[in-house]
Structure 1
Amino acid sequence: MMPSFPYRKTLISFAVAMSAAQLHAAGFQLNAQSATGLGRAFAGDAVIGDNASVIARNPAAMSLFDKQQISVGFETITTDIEVKDATYTGPNSSTSVSSNSANTDSVGDTSIAPNFYYVRPVNQKFAWGLNAYSNFGTKTEFEDGYQGYEYGGNTDVKSFNLGLVGSYKVSEALTLGAGLDAIYGKGIFSRPTNPFVNAAYSSDKVLDIDASGWALGWNVGAMYELNSRNRFGIDYHYSPEIEAEGDVYTLTGGKQSDTVKMPLPDIAEFSGYHRLSPSYALHYSIQFIQWSEFDKLEAEKAGVINTYNWQDAWHYSIGGTYYMNEQWELRAGYMYDTSAQDETRSISVPDSDRQWLSAGFTYKPDQMSSIDFGATYLLGEDTDVSESKSALNSSITGTTHANAVLLGLQYSRSF
């Protein structure tokens, strides 16, 4: 008797279900807003305002600009993911099962996240700006022939944020800001079959998905300046639920269309900046990511796809800047990033508490332009996982570990 494979899943649903956290933040959050922020582990990023990229974190900080400015750059994320002490158990015929080692150290991949920002001061009170960047994404690829089969595969999830923001200076000390975000999400996923399943169904994949969707979000922020050397910022980003439509191939259902509702977490941040002397500054941030909103994935046709019950996550970062001279600035930072996952973990989602070690610099070739470089080495922790799929009569156990190297380059110009 052939085994049953009741898969009715699509888009980012399976994206997150199988591989949503391989990059460099809790859950599948993507910190790729700027090379400047990367070089200080994003400490103080909602209030420093050293270039136009600050509007990705806090639109109120546009009051720090007295000229138009553009900023354009990109960040590369290279992951190093290891699955060790792993055993896959699955069917090798219609009546028996076997166990194989499912160790691998070649899961990681490299992703590129571009960004663009424009700030336009209108007068001493009002400013507006445009931004294009990403808040969420992940990319992993298990090698062909991986012995974990349906627990591995390929995943490429991208999101892109297009935003319009404005700020108003209420007083010499207080500025308020707000903005709208159009968020695009796209997911491409494939999962290979166990050899027995392949022979039984003449298919080398459990599923193959390509889907995308748009949603609308918003953000608000405030900045308070004690004086020219000390200021604080706070911001809140509402992340919408994306309804993603697309095609999915399954063993038993063939190709079908569906709409999956994927909740994204709201993000709140508090930052401080203190210019301790003409040469040195201290800055810090606390960020809250409401991953508890990501409790389940539900499709219009398939119903509840999976239950996750993730937990809220936090970032705690501190950094410093050394203003060497008119041309050079050096910066460094440290972040502790807590996991979004609680009891439910996955071989393909090596989410854990993480530590960031960051450094970077700014070079100003003239008074109107700057070039920024940032680098981070991210250290994850060993995490024990155990998964099973009753419909496939399979299971896997093991330990995951994920590190990453992040590099960013950015150019800014005032005019």
Structure 2
Amino acid sequence: MKKVIALACLSMLPLSYAAAEGYQVNAQSTKQAGMGHVGTAMKLGAESMHFNPAGLVFMENRIHLSAGVSGVFSKGKFTDGDYVQKPDNTPSTPLYVYAGFKIYDNLAAGISLTTPYGSSMNWGKDWKGAHLIQDISLKAFNIQPTVSWKIMDRLSIGAGLMMEFGNIELSRALIGPGEMSGMASGLMDQFGPLLQAHPELGAIAKPVIDKLIADMAKYDDASAASVNLKGDAGVRLGFNVGAMYDINDKVTVGVSYRSKVKARVKEGDIALSYANETDLKENIFKQVETLIKTAESFGVSVPVNLQIPALDQGTFSAELPLPSNWNVGVTYKPTNRWILSGEVQFVGWGAYKKLEINFSPSSLSQYDMVAKKEYMNSRIYRVGAQFAATNRLDVRMGAYYDESPVKDDFLNPETPSMNKFGITGGLSFRPVDRLSVDFAFSYVTGFGRDGSYTDKALVSGAERKFGGHYNIYALMPSIGVAYAF
């Protein structure tokens, strides 16, 4: 029973973000957002710190500053037969800030702030999948000091120290809609044979059970009890390295690697909420307690326990992998006005095999759990083009295909993961030579998929499967500004 309740509480931190698969965000440059987020084999000034640190040294000016923000407006839908639920998502606003400095002709350094991971999704408090997720919000920030060295005219390398931190808030139902009636059925299964074997007990217990069934049915469309988790992930370290080589004046190749980082919430806060706390505790649970005591007075033992664990009297800890990324790209400049680029990104989601939840103090450690995730490594394919329409105006377009890392039988509404296709466009306008104002727009659509997730029922401990058809899409406008000294 204790493990079952813990499983009903938590499947914490695996998140969805419509701009990318899993909980990875593609919003580190407005310019590159317009080109399908390519950049591994491109010389982007200060913005190279994220895409490939080796490109930073090719800055044309002594100082390059860049900043921007995106708005992610995601929509989704879950269907199971005639049942339809759409999440009410709050727009997310990933941002970036870069500052690059040319120290010598062959040496550059810089520092950046980006939001490489994040999520925001609200399915509602009382929907059918509330026992898996009600709402979730995640933000992860990365501060990265970077150095870039040009070994020779055509070859450069670069490296950055990633310092990542963030916060997480998640809510889910302890007792979801309809589960109270399931508890009532469980009580009848346990008490039914006892009532027949002990008519005297039946005469006393039957009216109480009938009232319980009616009282529990009031929660067929509501989550009777829910849990909220909130915590900060402390600073964790990783690295970002890359190399870039000009094959000739028209073709450049690049490779970069961002390491895996394990985000850890060491001491998160837990809060419990109820649809009607007084009714649940002072009425329903006390009626169950009365039933048990009545049965015991007849010498009958009933193994029933419907109490909510006092998780809000403790804290939780959990660890989440932020996956590694290998990027390999090539850029081709057929003329002075055109830039074409393509790349493949290998995302190390295979590191996410399970989620471990630990409770403190030791009196709550009996609720510790391990939930399997079994993510797979995935790939993202990107292409982009830029055209210098005038001396002051560049226009861009791009597309990408993002593979899902989630298997069909691990598809959870907290991660409504599916293969996605994105199309992008953008432009940059330079009112003066060293100032660039950038705009981009992305449309990302998922290839809807069927899937399910299996957990354990609250009372019986029997396995249950929740599944259906998921779909999701997102609109992402971006704006940025860059200035060179």
Following the alignment from structure 2 to structure 1, what is the Cα–Cα distance between the partners of residues 46 and 9? 37
1:205/1:162 CA distance change after superposition, 3 Å? farther
Selected match of 1:75 from 65, 70, 74: 70
* 1:380 paired to 2:446: yes
SS of aligned partner of 2:131: helix
Between 374-383 and 339-348, the greater mean CA deviation after superposition? 339-348
Name the aligned partner's letter for residue 221 of structure 1. Answer: G
Aligned twin of 1:292: 350
TM-score by length of 2: 0.76
Selected match of 1:21 from 13, 16, 31: 16
* 1:248 paired to 2:270: yes
* 1:370 paired to 2:436: yes
Structure 2, gaps ≥5 residues long: 181-214, 273-307, 360-364
CA shift, 1:197, in A, is 5.8
* 1:6 paired to 2:5: yes
* 1:49 paired to 2:43: yes
1:6/1:401 CA distance change after superposition, 3 Å? same
| Residues 322-380 of structure 1, C-alpha deviations (whole Å, 9 max, x = no match) | 11111001110111111111232113322111111111111111111101111111110
* 1:221 paired to 2:278: no
* 1:209 paired to 2:204: no
CA contact (8 A) 1:5 1:252 kept: no
| Residues 58-104 of structure 1, C-alpha deviations (whole Å, 9 max, x = no match) | 11101210321100000111111011125xxxxxxxxxxxxxx6421
When the two structures are aligned, how many residues end up with a matched partner?
395
Following the alignment from structure 1 to structure 2, what is the Cα–Cα distance between the partners of residues 259 and 325? 55
Selected match of 1:120 from 101, 105, 116: 101
Following the alignment from structure 2 to structure 1, what is the Cα–Cα distance between the partners of residues 411 and 121? 16
Following the alignment from structure 2 to structure 1, what is the Cα–Cα distance between the partners of residues 9 and 161? 28
SS of aligned partner of 1:7: helix
Selected match of 1:109 from 90, 104, 108: 90
1:370/1:125 CA distance change after superposition, 3 Å? same
Aligned twin of 2:382: 317
CA shift, 1:187, in A, is 0.5
SS of aligned partner of 2:13: helix
SS of aligned partner of 2:72: strand
SS of aligned partner of 2:425: strand
Following the alignment from structure 2 to structure 1, what is the Cα–Cα distance between the partners of residues 101 and 248? 23
CA contact (8 A) 1:161 1:184 kept: yes
Aligned twin of 1:89: none
| Residues 242-277 of structure 1, C-alpha deviations (whole Å, 9 max, x = no match) | 221212246413222132121221111012111111
SS of aligned partner of 1:325: coil
Pick the structure with greater CA Rg.
2
CA RMSD, 1 decimal: 2.4
* 1:59 paired to 2:53: yes
Structure 1, gaps ≥5 residues long: 87-100
1:360/1:263 CA distance change after superposition, 3 Å? same
Between 392-401 and 149-158, the greater mean CA deviation after superposition? 392-401
Following the alignment from structure 2 to structure 1, what is the Cα–Cα distance between the partners of residues 356 and 88? 28
1:228/1:395 CA distance change after superposition, 3 Å? same
CA contact (8 A) 2:333 2:339 kept: yes
1:49/1:389 CA distance change after superposition, 3 Å? same
CA shift, 1:137, in A, is 1.1
CA contact (8 A) 2:36 2:383 kept: yes
CA contact (8 A) 1:82 1:107 kept: no
1:233/1:392 CA distance change after superposition, 3 Å? same
Selected match of 2:327 from 264, 269, 273: 269
| Higher strand content, 1 or 2 | 1
Aligned twin of 2:25: 30
* Percent of aligned positions that are identical: 22
CA shift, 1:319, in A, is 1.4
CA shift, 1:226, in A, is 2.2
| Residues 202-235 of structure 1, C-alpha deviations (whole Å, 9 max, x = no match) | 9844321001112111111111112343211110
Following the alignment from structure 2 to structure 1, what is the Cα–Cα distance between the partners of residues 426 and 166? 30
Aligned twin of 2:339: 281
| Higher helix content, 1 or 2 | 2
TM-score by length of 1: 0.89
Between 104-113 and 126-135, the greater mean CA deviation after superposition? 104-113
Aligned twin of 1:97: none
1:10/1:36 CA distance change after superposition, 3 Å? farther
Aligned twin of 2:210: none
CA contact (8 A) 2:158 2:241 kept: yes
Name the aligned partner's letter for residue 347 of structure 2. Answer: I
Name the aligned partner's letter for residue 57 of structure 2. Answer: S
Following the alignment from structure 1 to structure 2, what is the Cα–Cα distance between the partners of residues 203 and 153? 10
Aligned twin of 2:476: 406
1:4/1:269 CA distance change after superposition, 3 Å? closer
* 1:333 paired to 2:327: no
1:196/1:287 CA distance change after superposition, 3 Å? closer
